[in-house]
Amino acid sequence: MGDTLESRTFDAIVIGSGMSGGWAAKELCEKGLKTLVLERGRDVKHLKDYPTTNMYPWEFKHRGQVPYEIQMANPVVSRCYAFREDAMHFFVKDNDHPYVQEKPFDWIRGYQVGGKSIMWARQTQRWSDFDFEGPLRDGFAVDWPIRYKDIAPWYSYVEKFAGISGNKDGLPNLPDGEFLPPMELSCVESYFKDFVAKKYKDRHVIYARCAHLTEPQPIHLEQGRGQCQKRNLCQRGCPFGGYYNTNSTTIPFAQKTGNMTLRPFSVVHSVIYDDKKGKATGVRVIDSKTKETIDYFARVIFVNAASFNSNLILLNSISSRFPNGLGNDNGLLGKFVAFHNYRARISASYDGFKEFRTDGRRPTSAYIPRFRNLFKQETNFLRGYAATFSGGRSPKPTDTHGLFGESLKNRLSGTQELGPWFVGSQMMGETIPKEINHLVLDTDKKDEWGIPLLKISIGYDDNEDKMIKDFFDQMTEMFADAGFKDIKTSDSKQAPGLDIHEMGGIRMGHDPKTSLLNKWNQLHSCQNVFVTDGSSMTSTSTQNPSLTYMAFTARAADYAVSKIKRNEL
C-alpha cells in the first residue's frame, strides 16, 4: 500500500504502550477499532526480550551491581531501587533524554513497549470514596467528577484480567476487589497485625494486594501466563508471566484481534488540531531513528505517554485555536502536579519468635492503609499516609578471622545463626496538588528531535513535613507498644520523583474553568482526545495508582467506542 494517506489513517491512535496505553490498545482493538499504537522506544516482546530473566547471580559480570562509571553518568536513574545490572536496560539513561530541573526532581522512565509495567512494584489497591471525596471536603484541589461507584465495576473488570492476589478485608477506606488467594505473612507480620487489631480499632495491618498470579484462572492461562514462582526477579521480565505487565497481556490481546498496528521508535511531537473541523485529527510523529516527520490520522486519540510526557505532548500541541497547548483554555495545563512522599522510614528489632525463620521469597509484604483524617480532620496536616510493613531475619555476621581454604569454606557453608527479627515500615504520603508545582516547556533547550525539553518545578511543603512527623510519632508508638526494640526513624530527604508516582497536570473535574478533563477523561474543549494515565489525576490519594489508571482507561475506551458508534465523536 506504501506511504499513502489511507495507510496512515486509523480509527484510533494510542500514544504510549505502558500500563494505561496497553489497556487502551486492548479495549479499542477488541471493540473493532483499527488502532495505531505509538511507542517512542523499542519493541519488547514477552519472553523474547527479557535477556537476564533466567541468569544466575554469578553470570552477571558485576554480580548485579551497576558499575561505578555508569552510576556517575546516571545520577538520577541510579537512585532508583530497581536500576541494577539485571534490569538497567529497561530504564532511560540520564543523558539520552534530558530534562530541566528547576527544582530537584528524579524523573524515572522506561521507554519501550510495555513502558514501566515491566519494572513496576506491582502493588494494587483500589481507591475509596474517602479518596474521591477528599478534595471537595478539604478544599485543596477541585472536586473529582466521579465517585467510587462509577469506577468500581471497572476495577473488577481489570482485576479479573490482570490477576490480583489479596484478602477480603472489609475496610471502607480500602475496598475489596476480585482477588486470587493471598500469600502468607511472616509470623512477626501476623503478630503485628493481630496486635494492632486489638489495640487500635481504627487501624489495620493487612496483606498488601499485588498483581501476581497465585492461582491462575482460565483467562490467565489464555494469556499464556503461569503461576508466580516467587522468584522476586520481576524487574527482569517474568518468563512465567507470573506478574502483570503489558507485554504478556494487553498488547498480545490487542495484537491477536488483527486491529492493532504497533509502531515503536515513534517520538510523538504533538496532537494535530484542525481549526475548521473543531477537533483533533491526528498525531505528528518523528521517527527516532531517521528523524523523519510523519502525520497519522484518526477519529479518536488516547494520550497515555505516562504522566509528564502526556503533559509535554499537549503543551507542545499548538494551534491557532490552542496557542498555549491543546485543551489549555484555562491556562492550567501542566499545573497542580503532585506525587507520593516516600521520604520517611522506621525500623526496629523484635526478640520473639526465635524458633521461626523465613524461607523462600515473596513479592509483597504487609500494608497499613491510611488511618489519619479519614472521618474527620484530626491533625495539623491535610490528608494522610499509608505504609508498608515487613519483617524478617538475617544471619548474624560470620567470624572468618584467620580462616582460609577448607576451614573457611566449612565455616561459610555451615548452618548460620540467625539474628533477631527485623521490622520496618515506609510511609507513602499524599501530597497536595498546588499550582506552584508545575511543568512547562523550556523556551531554549530542545531534544535531538527538536522538541522542547520539559522543565519540572516541584517541591515539598510544610504539609509533608508535618505528615512525616506524625508518621514517626504514630509508628514509634505502635512499634513500642508491640514490644519492638531499637526503634530508629530516618528521613531520606530524597527529591520528589523516586516514588515514580507523578500525577496531575491534565486533571479531571466538573468545570472547564478549573480542570482539563471531564468525568470520561475527555478534554473539555477537544472531546475526541482522551487522557487516562497519571496526568489525569485530580489528587493522589495514598494508594499505588496503577490499578486506577487501568480502570480509568478501560472505562474511557468503552465510552469512546459507544460515542463513535452513535457518530457522536
* Residue-level pLDDT at 183: 95
Across the range 384-395, mean pLDDT stands at: 94
Mean predicted confidence (pLDDT) in 504-509: 98
Residue 401 pLDDT: 78
In a domain, 320, yes or no: no
Count of H-run helices and E-run strands, the chain: 12, 22
DSSP state of 185: P
- The DSSP call for residue 521 is S
Per-residue pLDDT reduced to its tens digit, 445-491:
999 999 999 999 999 999 999 999 999 999 999 999 999 999 999 99
Cα–Cα dist 428/342, whole Å: 5
C-alpha closest to that of 133 among 122, 142, 125: 142
Give the number of other Cβ atoms within 10 Å of residue 48's Cβ.
10
Query: Does 374 fall in a domain?
Result: yes
| Residue 470 falls inside a structural domain | yes
Q: Which of 51-65, 117-131, 153-167, 404-418 has the lowest mean pLDDT?
A: 404-418
336 phi and psi angles, rounded to 5 deg: 60, 40
The HSE-up count of residue 247 (CA atoms within 13 Å, CB side) is: 30
The least confident of 187-196, 357-366, 403-412 is: 403-412
Establish if 402 belongs to a structural domain. Answer: yes
- CA 335, CA 338: separation in Å to the nearest integer? 9
What is the torsional sign of CA 48, 53, 56, 59? positive
- 179: its cell numbers: 482477588
CA 212 to chain centre: 15
Work out the pLDDT band at 398, boundaries 50, 70, 90: confident
CB-count burial class (<10 Å; 0-12, 13-18, 19+) for 190 = middle
* Lookup: cell for 430: 499524599
The domain in which residue 392 lies consists of 175-208+341-430+460-495
Which of these, 289, 288, 286, 285, lies nearest to 301 by C-alpha position?
Answer: 285
Q: Which of the 8 DSSP states describes residue 431?
A: P
The answer to whether residue 193 is domain-embedded is yes
Alpha carbon distance 513, 515 (integer Å): 6
| pLDDT, tens digit, 9 for 90 and up, residues 257-302 | 999 999 999 999 999 999 999 999 999 999 999 999 999 999 999 9
Average pLDDT over residues 542-552: 98
Question: Which H/E stretch holds residue 22?
Answer: helix 19-30
Name the pLDDT band for 8 (thresholds 50, 70, 90): very high
Which pLDDT score is estimated for 395?
80
Structural element, H or E, at residue 154: helix 148-162
At residue 463, the 3 state secondary structure works out as helix
DSSP string, 101-151: ESS--------BTTGGGGT---B-----HHHHSHHHHH-SSPPPS--HHHH
HSE of 203, CA atoms in CB hemisphere, 13 A: 19
Q: Which residues pair with residue 281 across a beta bridge?
A: none
* DSSP characters over 193-238: HHHHHHH-TT---EEPPBSB-SS--HHHHHTT-------S-GGG--
- The whole-chain average pLDDT of the chain stands at 96
Residue 260 makes CB contacts below 8 A (sequence gap 6+) with 25, 29, 35, 36, 37, 251, 254
Residue 286 belongs to a domain: no
In whole angstroms, give the CA distance from residue 24 to residue 526: 18
User: Between 416 and 382, where is the model more confident?
Assistant: 382
Residue 424 pLDDT > 70, yes or no?
yes
Nearest in space to 555 (alpha carbons), one of 146, 88, 15: 146
Give the mean pLDDT of 198-214.
Answer: 97
Domain count, the chain: 1
Query: Is the per-residue pLDDT at 1 higher than 70?
Result: no
DSSP state of 159: H
| Residue 88 resides in a domain | no
H or E element at residue 271? strand 266-274
With contact defined as beta carbons under 8 Å apart, do 422 and 394 qualify? Answer: yes
Q: Is residue 384 part of a domain?
A: yes
